[in-house]
Structure 1
Amino acid sequence: MRKKINPYLYLIPALLVMGVITFYPMGFQLWMSFTNYGIRNLRFDAPPPDWVGLANYVRILTTNLGLGNFSFWRVLGFNLFWAFSNVIIHVTLGIMIAVVLNTAGLWFKRIYRVIYILPIVIPQIIVANVFRNMFDPDWGAINQGLALIGSLFGLSPDLFHIRWIAQLGYPISGIPLTLSYFALLITNIWLGWPFMTIVATGALQSIPHELYGAADIDGASGLQKFWRITLPLIRPAMVPAAVYGLVVTFNLFTLIYFLSGGGPLRETEILLTVAFRLVNEQRLYGLAAAFSVYIFFVLLGLTLLTNYITRATESYEI
């Protein structure tokens, strides 16, 4: 009997810590989402907030929340598009670069592997501010580089005075693809592919070389070996990495807030930056709590979907 109880006794300290730092704040936030909790309720002598039921949840879906150009469904659509478009490029680049670096006889292989870790160790807030300066329309390195290339073809430098952060774009299938989005995409590609390369490199090194030798005997081409051997065997490692990358990119607050600020006209706003504005600009804590509950269920749905896909790939056989 004691042996059956011992595991639970060891779990009690962890449960107490999790209860204080995780479960209680989550429960309190859920309660707040059904009230009109605001800045006046932060005082110790303040009366309790009024119970408003589902009013906050309905308001989020049906109004602009006093944020001007805001629509929950548009922001959710852009948030999902932003996450998936980034992760697809991250995974593709990560695998391609890992395959190249795994080539036998490649010179300075260890140096390359050290260099591509650099984007991971640099804080995101520094990356966001550096790239924001690089995308400056007057003095940014991006425009200057484009103007230099254009000058080789006789093009005027004025053609490359591009307002990356402030320029409006045109919607494609309801998703506003502004230049600001592409500036964010370029920056996040620089941030995201090294992690996928590290995961892919580890998965590649676990593949038995005998499989490639047998494929050579059968006369398989390099492309056939990639699709028939490499890709199926690294898939169980890459799918969980892609799931992690999807969740991180979906909530990539630092890059959005400090590079584009959600602009222009909140076209590159994500759900997390909207929740941040509700808390820090409007002090609508109850409304922000309801907004966070929506974010939780969106991420829960993404996690369940990607976990289902992950289990499907675990049983994959060549």
Structure 2
Amino acid sequence: MAFTDYRVKNLRFNVLNPETWEKYAPTFVGLENFVKIVTNDLAIENYDFWRLLLFNITWTVANIVFHVTLGIAIALVLNNKDLKGKKFYRSLYVLPWAVPGYIAALTWRNMFDPQFGAINLLLARINEIVGTSFATDTRWLLETTPPIGGPLGFLPLAFYCVLMANIWLGWPFMMVIATGALQSIPAELYEAASIDGASAWQKLRAITLPLIRPAMVPAIMLGTIMTFNQFNVIYFISEGGPFGRTEILITQSFKLVYEQRLYGVAAAFSIVVFFVLLIITLLQNRVTRATEAYYV
């Protein structure tokens, strides 16, 4: 299908029914669909493949940085033997990860509503109590003016909204992995470091981070693939807006099928996404092997 001009008119085509071949058979177009995808030669409003790819990569990297940093930091806090109620806190922190993605996404979307959303209502309440002057009518998901200029000027306000939502959803996974890795580190190493006069930072840099690395590297690569294809957050919160500026590859592929009805192009687009993920997977395998070789 990826090498044909398959559209709505071809839905009646049946390869087992010769009567449909002449009238409904799609036309073979070779690599034309792939060329149109990468050269932006598609009759789709606000479509730009390279902008999509750049945004998708930016979205993935930003999420992974926050997921890993927060996950390890909170795992370190919960790994403190003097902390009371650790089991309760761990159960509480895993809650965002346990909630179905589309339910969490719709909840966040309602929170960003400019008129009745919890965020604007909270800001209005703070203004009343503290006397501040926060804007209470911000169109979080519709504002086209970027909040940050310079190299990040291509990111609309909606990007930071979906980023916030996905950080909340994603860091518990990294925390669980980091917690398991931390508990496998022998306490004798820290005791020996304390005897040698090592500071907390030196212990973290010389013992903790190197020893949790073999567990965190595969988790980071898995999280990268999951975030790269995070359909629920993007589609259900921002719907790729405003004007397609928070669209990622997987949501664009979905819209090619269910909105534009360009089935042949959508099939080709899915193949492009597959090869992008294949490159990520190959990098994952290479990094994982290098990590294993380093610690053998």
Same fold (TM over 0.5): yes
User: Which structure 2 residues correspond to residues 215-254 of structure 1 after superposition, within 5 A?
Assistant: 215-254=193-232
For structure 2, which runs of at least 5 residues remain unmatched after alignment?
A: none
Q: 2:277, 2:153 → 1: CA distance? A: 20
**Equivalent residue for 2:4, pick from 30, 35, 51:** 35
**Equivalent residue for 2:121, pick from 124, 127, 144:** 144
Q: 1:70, 1:175 → 2: CA distance? A: 18
Could you say which residue in structure 2 is the equivalent of 1:194?
172
Could you say which residue in structure 2 is the equivalent of 1:12?
none
How far off is 1:150 after superposition?
A: 4.1
**Equivalent residue for 2:20, pick from 46, 49, 73:** 46
Deviations 1:93-141 (A, max 9, x none): 0000000000011011100011111112211111111001111112211
After alignment, is 287-296 or 173-182 more displaced? 173-182
How far off is 1:65 after superposition?
A: 1.9
- Give the alignment's Cα RMSD to 1 decimal: 1.7
How far off is 1:174 after superposition?
A: 6.7
- Matched to 2:167, the amino acid is I
Could you say which residue in structure 1 is the equivalent of 2:110?
133
Q: Does residue 162 of structure 1 match 2:131? A: no
Could you say which residue in structure 2 is the equivalent of 1:182?
160
| Cα distance change of structure 1 residues 174 and 188 upon mapping to structure 2, 3 Å threshold | closer
| Cα distance change of structure 1 residues 312 and 175 upon mapping to structure 2, 3 Å threshold | farther
- Matched to 1:241, the amino acid is A
- Matched to 1:50, the amino acid is T
Could you say which residue in structure 2 is the equivalent of 1:292?
270
For structure 1, which runs of at least 5 residues remain unmatched after alignment?
A: 1-31
Q: 1:226, 1:169 → 2: CA distance? A: 41
Q: 1:266, 1:124 → 2: CA distance? A: 21
Could you say which residue in structure 2 is the equivalent of 1:14?
none
Q: What percent identity do the matched residue pairs reach?
A: 54
**Equivalent residue for 2:81, pick from 98, 104, 124:** 104
Deviations 1:214-248 (A, max 9, x none): 00000000111001000000011011111111101
- Matched to 1:308, the amino acid is R
Q: Does residue 121 of structure 1 match 2:95? A: no
How far off is 1:279 after superposition?
A: 0.6
Whether the 8 Å contact between 1:64 and 1:71 is mirrored in structure 2 is no
